[in-house]
Structure 1
Amino acid sequence: MVSVGSKALVSRSSMGDHDHESLKQAKSKRRKHKKGGAAHESDSNPKHSNTNSNTFTSPPQGSRVRKQLDPETTQYFSEIANLFETEGVELEERSLICANALQETKGKEFEIATDYIVSHTLETILQGCDVDHLCDFLHSSANDFPYIAMDRSGSHVAETAIKSLAVHLEDDEARPLVEEALTIICKVIAANSVDVMCNCYGSHVLRTLLCLCRGVPLDKSGYYLSKSTTLLAERLNSKEFSKKDDATNFQPGFPNLLKVLVSDMLKHAKKCIKTLQVDQFSSLVFQTMLRVLAGDDEEMLHVIPFLLGCKDKNNAEGNFIDAKVVADLKNLLKESKFSHLMEVVLEVSPEALFNELFTKVFRNYLFELSSHQHGNFVVQALISYARNQDLMELIWEELGPNLEDLFKMGRSGVVASLVAASERLHVNEHKCCEVLAEVVCPVDDSPKGIVPRLMFLDSCFTYDDKSNWSWQSGARMNVMGSLILQTVFRFRSEYIQPYIRSITSMEATHVLEAVGDSRGSHVIEAFLSSGASGKLKRRLITKLQGHFGEVALNSSGAFTIDKCFTVSNLSLRETIVSEVLAVRSDLSKTKQGSYLLRKLDIDGFAANPDHWRSKQASKESTYKDFCSMFGSNDTKLMKNDSFLRDTSNNKSNPNTVKEMRKEIDQSLGSGAPFLSFQNKNPKKEKLKSKRNAYISGDDDESNRKKRSKKEKVESGFDTAATAASGKILKKRRRDGDLSEASLKKVKASNA
């Protein structure tokens, strides 16, 4: 058991401004903590001040002796901890206990916050107290807050206090108190920001403080506090990468206070910026600083050049990067910590600064940087955040002819970023697909091997004789190769014909093995969502016949079954459902089972196959009608090519069509027969008919007349389908999603 009240420990550190030498000395004094012991040596424990005034002064510098926590205080907080563990403490009583306990911390905030055991109880107290006592605690501990933040145990207390402040941001009455306390904490942290940001514990507290000032919800601040684990997937997606939209979910922050905090931090970092650029923990702080300032171009044009080492202010418009720092920057790009910082710089830079960085730093240096173990990630970021076609053309000129060399060096991430950017910006799309296919599969070799070789990208380029390479049965498929193929299948179908022929020529055993692999299954799903014809998609799906139940039980294969079902015709759908029905019991026990059973309507098929077929036929009619109304001309021409044409590749308005598909599924997904009139509510039916009349533009006289047989054939709807589609059309007209042209089209089709 951890003991309480051990002998005082001493550590020394300097707080405040540092030159390069003092910063290195401070870093050399870091010590790893032992898991036992009530008192732990923090990275920096300067001399403690017992000043308890609500106003703060700059914390004293020099040596610091951690005082031993007296037994009475330890016992007092131990009793509070035991009391909180019981379930009989009411909310009001708990708040009163917390308020009294915080009064006991006066003058002993540092010792209590950094005690290994008692600090846990203090965290609970800070979470349960009201805003007045919380702010009072922060006022009284302001002088010690940097030292608390840099302690192993104290950092958790400091972060809990900051998060507790965030809880009260929505309260207008409490906001002035929060802002006052936060202002004091920001000032004292900024005055010692170099020490705090270079400390492994203080760095995290400072990043949390930056997020709070910006208004980032602290329970969803993972992206801002550290590098996102999904960053690669986001970069390879075709969507925009700006985080400005996140601001809609922000809490009310303190933008002026944030700017003051950042300004003071940079002021104190000025003397040692070169050391901070390559420090692990300060790099994380700078990354968070840039992300919370994203969207404020004026601030960015000041902060980013400073972090890149530019000392002089902008001499002229469009001249943000000093020529004398370019050589240093090229070397820094190969440093691990700075490369992470540069990735974020490229992500949030205003376009003018981004273009200048490319021109002065990256141009004619991309291939050399791509070959470096750290620099290649910077190149990936540069490609991913390129915003115009001209810039992408210049990047392609340098890297396009070197795809094979990049693969051989293991820099497939650069190739993946290049392919994704070509698709996103529509630059050299055909050339990109063509060159990639030639690099992976030599011209004199069969194009059937393109997709398999990209699936097993590593073994393909490490194989002695690439022309004799064969399917690596049982081997794990390559992540980057899978991502490249997923991107390729987003290109227009005329550009990717070799890839389509390759995947449809795969042997049935290889297709089954691919859907059983999480990476391979994503490739199959991407193909099923591509612009390839429904006939070719069904050719691939039939290779899984007899194994649909087996695939559905696989965690990754279940989503593939979903895609297969979407693009299949009625007979193939019935085959899928029949095979999945055989494993319904086992499937219901899996994580993905309930979704798949509901999507395929397995229970409905088991209860009444004829009803299930009727329901699917009605959906077919509804989908086709909507595609004819809202789809592009290409979609109309190909609508009969598949039972359910996948319209996700419709370039005209893909999101709208997807949303319609979802709404139709919800509207037509009831358990009653789609053509049945049982249990109809007369009032609802009357309302639906009025809605249909309103949308179709029929006048009162035409509403009283019976629809002609010709109109029924042209519409393709039965009574229930018309009611469902009418409801959706009216909603879209109300929400503004239905354009005037589309509305006229609807009127004309029903005239």
Structure 2
Amino acid sequence: MAGEDSSSYRKGGKKMKLGRKAKEEYTETGRKVSKHQNSSVREASFIRKLVDPETAKYFAEIANVIEGIEIELEERTVICGNALEETRGKEVELATDYIISHTLQTLLEGCTVDNLCGFLRSCANNFSHIAMDRSGSHVAETALKSLALHLQEDNETHSLIEETLSTLCQEIVVNPVDVMCNCYGSHVMRSLLYLCEGEPLGSSEFHSSKPSVLLAERLNLRSSQLDGHKLQHHQKFPDKLKFLVSEMLNPSRVDIATLVVNQYSSLVLQTALKLLAGHEQELLHVIPVLLGFSAETGSGWNFMKASELKNILSLVEENAYSHLMEVILEVAPDTLYDELLTKVFRSSLFKMSSHHTGNFVVQSLVSHARSHDHMKSIWEELGTKFKNLLEMGRPGVVASLLAASQRLQTHEHKCCQALAAAVRLENESTACIVSRILFLDSYFYSEDKDNWNWPNGVKMHVLGSLILQSIFRLPNDFILEYIYSITSLENNQVLEASKDPGGARVIEAFLNSNASTKHKRKLVIKLRGHFGELSVYPSGSFTVEKCFNVSNLSLRETIVSEILPVQSELLKTKQGPYLLRKLDVEGFARNLDQWKSRQASKQSAYEEFYAEFGPKTTEDSQSDNFLADTHRKSHEENLKGMRKEIDTRLSYGFAPNSGSQFLAHPGSGKLKRSGNKQARTRAGFAKDATKNGAFKRQKQKA
């Protein structure tokens, strides 16, 4: 099913792993039990003491004091510190008590760094037991978060925190497997890793593992957080991070085979790898250990037996391991990635793509290809399988191939041709391409594909729409079939697509593409009569704005005249006020002739600026609307910032027909292209405007 490739399936896969089979293989701590391991050898369950009544009464009174009335900050700090002193020797039973643990969290948040570090050093010997308890894990994480906050606020505490962190790391690695494989301990271990990096725990997008974020990175819709992290190397305690990771993965002390297939320890290992991104030497040591290298097999792929290589291929079908392998491929140094592709995964890509879990590993492998040679190798196996992949419900693999070809600027045309061939018969018209990609599930699961028609009222396929958005970012010569197909849609189909969140982004991607203005206006005309109702949709206002940008004066007048009757309704929506200002609806209603004059002035200013600073164009493209000519990526964002200022100045305070005056500095002549300081300043302004606002609209829309 196509749904198997979505994030919802992935979550479903996790739930399935916790079913009957998972119960048979894991102990109460979450650790996988070896078939040859005797249960009597396992560490006995830790039995905590109950809190004595007198201590329970004391902390109940403390809770009333710090939560019941307003207290001065200094007095509150003193109370928290004194209360923490009373926990000495009783940390485990207090932290694991459901009621008192909440009070303990409040105390740890309100105390000084000295009291905080004293508490952690006192309970260090039992920190693992606290971390693996349902209530205790919250206490442990609160303590670590408080440490991180103190670290950010006061550099003078660095040495004290480092000493405390060192004590915790040394104690927790005494028995790391049980902690990592425990559902509560896993969270605490990750927090400990984050603290070694020196960031506020959980506050950075770098730590995000949301499927939507990962998908956006793989499809070039946003840059990877790891790319920026590789350049920073801001770890406050790099030695502690390396020590913790090396002890967690010491083959002589821990069972690596257990760690890589357990869902909780896999999350810990993924976090560790991400934090080590950019540290090649550490990664070159850690990743082979995770892949099963040992002293006996040596440190190179040539030492591995065929059975060991096959073991890796079989493990990628395990849910936890596949997640881990995705991260390995993302952070692996170039040499190691090349070895994985050529020695492990080559000749197995299609088989892996067929698997409901393995296909995510293929997506990661494709998305992080480093060179044209890598893309060539991948294409040889998957380039002729687009139709098979779509029929199996694996559009994510196709989308990743398309995005990788675009990023590496190789095989782009071949990808477009292969996709088009996958959704239509050999002699069939290309008009059907876009509609079938928009409804991938509906088309490929149809029993009568020959008579398949646009399904009214059906939500458009998320990955299908993302694939088309990628398509329309490619050079014009590669996507002629897709341009013809989208402009061949019926009027009602274009309207329905514009009302669907995914479909609307496809329409916008086409209007932003390097297709000719003639083709874009052909699509815009199909929406005539519906701009008013479309503008009040959550994402419709963006589509209307794009339509307005590529339209001539006559079409713009039509768009605004249709929006005017819904002006009051638009004011109540989130994007409505912006759209009304952008289109100058109020000015249109007040004086149509002046509105037309302002639009003409803006157009003149756009064309003059573009002629001065834009790239050289062909005669055909010079006749196009300036706003429509955004296909040159190196200039697009700069021009966007400039266009915004032109709109603002000509709408507020500049007289009609003054576009050329706008481009001139007061007291000087018109800007010259070569050797002119004003020109360089203006171009610099456009760049700055882009940095500050280029992603604002995308952020609002997300």
Partner of 1:128: 110
Which moves more between the two structures, 370-379 or 313-322? 313-322
Query: Structure 1 pair 62/466, CA: closer, same or farther in 2 (3 Å)?
Result: closer
Query: Structure 1 pair 461/183, CA: closer, same or farther in 2 (3 Å)?
Result: same
**Aligned counterparts of 1:669 and 1:249: Cα–Cα separation in 2:** 42
Partner of 1:671: 652
**Aligned counterparts of 1:505 and 1:255: Cα–Cα separation in 2:** 58
Matched, 1:282 2:265: yes
CA RMSD in angstroms, aligned pairs only: 3.3
Contact 1:627 1:635 in 2 (8 A): no
Partner of 1:42: none
Partner of 2:255: 272
Which moves more between the two structures, 234-243 or 507-516? 234-243
Partner of 1:68: 50
Query: Structure 1 pair 595/155, CA: closer, same or farther in 2 (3 Å)?
Result: farther
Query: Structure 1 pair 605/120, CA: closer, same or farther in 2 (3 Å)?
Result: farther
Partner SS for 1:474: coil
Q: CA deviation at 1:342?
A: 0.6
**Aligned counterparts of 1:583 and 1:153: Cα–Cα separation in 2:** 54
Query: Structure 1 pair 676/112, CA: closer, same or farther in 2 (3 Å)?
Result: farther
**Aligned counterparts of 1:528 and 1:549: Cα–Cα separation in 2:** 19
Partner of 1:232: 215
Aligned partner (choices 71, 75, 97) of residue 89 of structure 1? 71
Q: CA deviation at 1:317?
A: 7.6
**Aligned counterparts of 2:461 and 2:326: Cα–Cα separation in 1:** 24
Q: CA deviation at 1:553?
A: 1.1
Query: Structure 1 pair 106/664, CA: closer, same or farther in 2 (3 Å)?
Result: farther
Aligned partner (choices 334, 344, 363) of residue 317 of structure 2? 334
Matched, 1:216 2:170: no
Aligned partner (choices 158, 176, 191) of residue 175 of structure 1? 158
Partner of 1:260: 243
Partner of 1:639: 622
Q: CA deviation at 1:499?
A: 0.8
**Aligned counterparts of 1:735 and 1:547: Cα–Cα separation in 2:** 33
Matched, 1:299 2:276: no
Query: Structure 1 pair 350/663, CA: closer, same or farther in 2 (3 Å)?
Result: farther
Matched, 1:476 2:459: yes
Query: Structure 1 pair 575/268, CA: closer, same or farther in 2 (3 Å)?
Result: same
Partner of 1:29: 28
Q: CA deviation at 1:201?
A: 0.6
Matched, 1:77 2:43: no
Letter in 2 for 1:103: E
Q: CA deviation at 1:393?
A: 1.2
Letter in 1 for 2:667: S
Q: CA deviation at 1:382?
A: 0.7
Query: Structure 1 pair 268/165, CA: closer, same or farther in 2 (3 Å)?
Result: farther
**Does 1 or 2 have the higher relative contact order (CA < 8 Å, sep 6+)?**
2
Contact 1:504 1:539 in 2 (8 A): yes
Query: Structure 1 pair 479/208, CA: closer, same or farther in 2 (3 Å)?
Result: same
Partner SS for 1:117: helix
Query: Structure 1 pair 316/111, CA: closer, same or farther in 2 (3 Å)?
Result: closer
Contact 2:597 2:657 in 1 (8 A): no
Contact 1:549 1:579 in 2 (8 A): yes
Matched, 1:728 2:686: no
**Aligned counterparts of 2:309 and 2:205: Cα–Cα separation in 1:** 32
Matched pairs, number: 656
Query: Structure 1 pair 698/403, CA: closer, same or farther in 2 (3 Å)?
Result: closer
**1:146-165 map, 5 Å:** 146-165=128-147
Letter in 1 for 2:28: K
Q: CA deviation at 1:665?
A: 4.4
Query: Structure 1 pair 71/605, CA: closer, same or farther in 2 (3 Å)?
Result: farther
Q: CA deviation at 1:660?
A: 3.5
Partner of 1:428: 411
Partner SS for 1:291: helix
Q: CA deviation at 1:190?
A: 1.8
Partner of 1:495: 478
Residue ranges of structure 2 left out of the alignment (5+ in a row)? 1-21, 31-41, 692-702
Contact 2:177 2:254 in 1 (8 A): no
Q: Deviations over 1:529-567 (max 9, x none)?
A: 111111111111111112112111111222212222222
**Aligned counterparts of 2:132 and 2:321: Cα–Cα separation in 1:** 23
**Aligned counterparts of 1:238 and 1:222: Cα–Cα separation in 2:** 15
Which moves more between the two structures, 269-278 or 409-418? 269-278
Query: Structure 1 pair 354/614, CA: closer, same or farther in 2 (3 Å)?
Result: same
Partner SS for 1:401: coil
Q: Deviations over 1:62-93 (max 9, x none)?
A: 45432222333333333333344456322222
Aligned partner (choices 364, 369, 373) of residue 352 of structure 2? 369
Query: Structure 1 pair 687/486, CA: closer, same or farther in 2 (3 Å)?
Result: closer
Q: Deviations over 1:675-717 (max 9, x none)?
A: 599xx9xxx9998436988998689xxxxxxxxxxxxxxxxxx
Contact 2:472 2:509 in 1 (8 A): yes
Letter in 1 for 2:353: S
Q: CA deviation at 1:514?
A: 0.6
Q: CA deviation at 1:256?
A: 1.2
Letter in 2 for 1:689: G
Aligned partner (choices 186, 195, 200) of residue 183 of structure 2? 200
**Aligned counterparts of 2:602 and 2:305: Cα–Cα separation in 1:** 63
Which moves more between the two structures, 576-585 or 129-138? 576-585
Partner SS for 1:178: helix
**Aligned counterparts of 1:306 and 1:515: Cα–Cα separation in 2:** 50
**1:345-360 map, 5 Å:** 345-360=328-343
**Aligned counterparts of 1:490 and 1:732: Cα–Cα separation in 2:** 22
Which moves more between the two structures, 340-349 or 420-429? 420-429
Partner SS for 1:644: helix
Q: Report the TM-score when normalising by structure 2.
A: 0.86
